[in-house]
Amino acid sequence: MKRTSLTARTGLALAALAVPAVLTGCGGSTSASANQQVTSISVLDYYNNEPDKTFIGDALNTCAQKAGVTLDRQTITGSALIQKVLQQASSKTLPDVLMLDNPDLQQIASTGALAPLSDFKISTDGFADGVLQAGTYNGKVYGLAPTVNTIALFYNKDLLAKAGIQPPTTWDELKAAAAKLTSGSQYGIAFSAAATYEGTWQFLPFMWSNGGDEKNLDSPQNAEALQLWTDLVKDGSASSGVLNWKQADVKDQFVAGKAAMMVNGPWQLPPLDKAAGLNYGIVKLPTKNATDTEVAPLGGETWTVPQTGNKAKQAKAAEVVGCMNSDEMQLSMAKQRNTVPSKTTLAAQFASQNPKLSVFTDLIKTARARTGELGADWPKAATKIYTAVQSALTGKASPADALKQAQNNG
C-alpha cells in the first residue's frame, strides 16, 4: 500500500454480503460475445493524482496498443473505489480491467467479481511470494501488481550528525535518539497514527517484527509495539499531531525540519529530492532487538480481470493485465514511480541501478501481504488496529487494554 490502501471505508462488509447473490451467472457468455471484434475496453483505477495518473495512463495505453484496442479509462479517489466496484458488480457494469489496492483484492474476489488469471494463462513465475500471496484467494491468483512498495525510516543526516547520533536500529536506540533530537519546534520522529488504514499500515512493521499478528490483537508482543508508540508521544519525542497526520503530512513535517526522522515510503522521494538543502538517508525501521528481522507490510496495486460476461473483452483485458506485469513495464513503472519491481530478479537488477531504493528492495523480499492471515476479513482487523492505536495514544486506555478492547470488539 501506498497512500491509498489506507483510507478508511464504511459499510463495505454489508455491501459485500449483498454482492454474491447478484453475481450469479454474471460470468456467462454467448458465442457472439466470444467471437466479437473488440476495439475498446474500459479501465477503472484510483490513480487520479499527478504524476501517477499520467505514468499509469501511459503504461495502459502502451499495453492497449499492443492488444489492438483503445481505452475508456475512469479514475476516482481511493476512498470511493471499493464501494463503486461493489455497486458495479451488483448492476453487472464492471469495467474490463480493474485496479485494486492489494489488501482489497480478496474481499472483491470473494464476491465472485473477478476471474482467475490462470483462465487466461497469465504467468505468475518469478513474482515475490508476498506479491502472489496478496493476489491470491482460495488458492487462485486473481491479480498481479507490477510494482510494490513498503515503508522504512528516513532521517535527516545533518540533524543526526549535529547531535552525534547514528540511525537507530533498536527500539531503545530509537527512543533515545528521538528524545535527544527533540528541541523547540523540532520533534525527534514523525509517523502517521491516523484513524484510517494508513495508521494501521504504519504500525504493522512494529507489530509484526515483534512477533505480533492480527489474529491475536491482545498479545503481549502487540502491546509492546503499541507501548513504544505511546511512549514516543507521551514523552514529546513525537507530536500529538501524529493522531491526525497522513503520510503526506508526515513528509511535510520532515521537509520543514520539524521532524528529524520519519516513517514513510519511497513515493516521497521526488518531493524530498526537490527540498532545498535537505540531506536525508533511509534505513530499515528499528526492531525491538538488533537480532530481530523486520517484517514489512507489502504495498502496491494489483490489476485484475473482472467477470463481465463478455469473453472477448475479457481476453483483451487479460492481454493488457499481462502486459502491465511484463518485465519491461515493471522496470519502467518502478523507475517512474519510485517503487520496486514485483519479480525478484528484476528487483535485484533495479536496486543496483537505483541505490536510493535499495532498502525498500531488500525489505520487499520478505514483505508480508496484509491479507495473508485473515484474507477478506483484513479490513475489520485494520479498523480494530487503528482504533486501538488511537485509544492508547490519546491516553484513553493503556496499550494492553486498548488492544484487548479491540480484540473483543466484534
Residue 287's SS3 state is: strand
Is residue 53 within 8 A of residue 47, CB to CB? The reply is yes
φ, ψ of residue 88 to 5 degrees: the values are: -65, -40
**Quick one: average pLDDT of 234-244?**
97
CA 392 to chain centre: 24
CA distance 300 to 307: 22
Category of 11 on φ-ψ map: left (φ > 0), alpha (ψ -120 to 50) or beta: left
Q: Is pLDDT at 14 greater than 80 in this prediction?
A: no
**DSSP H or E segment with residue 98:** strand 97-101
Whose cell is 524530498? That residue is 272
Q: Could you report the per-residue pLDDT of 163-175, keeping only the tens digit for each?
A: 999 999 999 999 9
Q: Is pLDDT at 194 greater than 70 in this prediction?
A: yes
pTM: 0.89
Is residue 240 within 8 A of residue 233, CB to CB? The reply is yes
CA distance 350 to 342: 11
Q: Is pLDDT at 4 greater than 50 in this prediction?
A: no
Q: What is the DSSP letter of 186?
A: B
pLDDT score for 16: 42
- Cα-based angle 83, 99, 41 (whole degrees, multiple of 5): 105
pLDDT score for 410: 65
How far lies 15's CA from each of 22, 197, 221, in Å?
11, 19, 34
Half-sphere exposure of 138 (CA within 13 A, CB side): 10
Q: Could you report the per-residue pLDDT of 333-343, keeping only the tens digit for each?
A: 999 999 999 99
Which amino acid appears at position 3 of this protein? Answer: R
Whose cell is 479491540? That residue is 406
What mean pLDDT value characterizes the chain? 91
Q: Could you report the per-residue pLDDT of 89-104, keeping only the tens digit for each?
A: 999 999 999 999 999 9
Q: Domain 152-295+373-408 is in which class?
A: alpha beta
Sorting pLDDT into bands at 50, 70 and 90, what band is 409?
confident
Domain(s) of CATH 3.40.190.10: residues in the chain: 12-148+299-364, 152-295+373-408
Give the torsion sign (CA, 232, 233, 238, 242): positive
CA distance 292 to 174: 15
Cell digits of residue 187: 520533534
Q: Is pLDDT at 34 greater than 90 in this prediction?
A: no
Q: Is pLDDT at 252 greater than 90 in this prediction?
A: yes
List of residues 6+ apart from 331 with CB closer than 8 A: 341, 346, 349, 350
Strand 97-101 relative to strand 40-45, pairing: parallel
**DSSP H or E segment with residue 99:** strand 97-101
Q: Is pLDDT at 393 greater than 80 in this prediction?
A: yes
Is residue 276 within 8 A of residue 112, CB to CB? The reply is no
The CATH H-level superfamily of 12-148+299-364 is: Periplasmic binding protein-like II (3.40.190.10)
